[in-house]
Amino acid sequence: MTGWRATFISLFPDLFPGPLGASILGSALARDVWGFDVVDLRAHGLGKHRTVDDTPAGGGAGMVLRADVAAAAIDSVAAEGRPLLMMSPRGERFDQAMAHQLAAGPGAILFCGRFEAIDQRVIDRRGMREVSIGDFVLAGGEVAAMAITEACVRLLPGVVGASASLVEESFETGLLEHPHYTRPHVWEGASIPDILTSGDHKRIEKWRKDQAVELTKARRPDLYAPFRNSVTPAADRPRNG
């Protein structure tokens, strides 16, 4: 098998590829730009009922994925240099920089949690890198694993049509992207900004950059601060600018 490779470890293997099989990712899948397989966690369960979970040591709500079952599933995968990621709201926050880092490698093994938690010992012993897709709690890791895979695969060469559209995107420049418009020229009384139909590419470029800066400043002060610091030396900056 060629290309970037994702292995999903999940109790719900039928969920894959799901949205990853549609549109540009789906066509890249068909062209072997990337590939995936799914390890059914249940297949590594114990006994007649293929049990994968048990009650938490020390008591409390919910069930915990057993370390021995999780490890058996993990150990059944040929890692081939790929990092082992544990989907977890406690993990480091996934972002575009991590997407680039993962996309540059051979792929990833993505462990999709369920229940209250996974036994800590398997995280420690198997050196799982805990990754979160945001400060909210999902019911399971499958959607998180799909989100991470989608962000990585669309960075692979030949997945997104024009690679320029990747370069100008939100986060790639340290800014959010400028607004876009298309026909009709007037819609519900609202016109496309004149500058975009002026044909003056220099001014259009500047307008887009200014819009991106303003949008980032208004919506994402956390992104704007490092951007401002990178373009304006501290000494030249107005105090409250």
The residues of the shown chain that bind ligand SAH, judged by CB under 6 A, are 87-90, 112-114, 116-117, 132-134, 136-138, 140-141, 144
- The residue among 24 and 63 lying less far from ligand SAH, judged by its C-beta, is 63
* Residue nearest ligand SAH (C-beta atom): 113
Identity (one letter) of the amino acid at 126?
R
Would you state the structure tokens that stand for residue 45, as one six-digit string?
Answer: 């369960």
Minimum Å gap between C-beta 49 and ligand SAH is 21
Burial of 219 (0-12, 13-18, 19+ CB in 10 A): exposed
Minimum CB distance to ligand SAH smaller for 70 or for 159? 70
Which lies closer to ligand SAH via its Cβ, residue 54 or residue 116? 116
3-class DSSP assignment, residue 179? coil
Q: Could you tell me if 21 and 29 are in contact, meaning their C-beta atoms sit under 8 angstroms apart?
A: yes
| Cβ proximity to ligand SAH, 7 vs 132, nearer residue | 132
Exposed / middle / buried, residue 41 (Cβ in 10 Å: 0-12, 13-18, 19+): buried
Least distance CB 136 / ligand SAH (angstroms): 6
- Minimal distance, residue 42 CB to ligand SAH, in Å: 16
Tell me which H or E stretch contains 88: strand 84-93
- Indicate the residue among 87 and 159 with the shorter CB distance to ligand SAH: 87
Residue 139: Cβ within 10 Å count: 9
Phi and psi based region of residue 62 (left: phi greater than 0; alpha: psi -120 to 50; beta: remaining):
left
Q: How far is the CB of 226 from ligand SAH (least distance, A)?
A: 24
Question: Closest distance between ligand SAH and the C-beta of residue 186, in Å?
Answer: 42
As given in the structure block, the two tokens for residue 192 are 């496309």
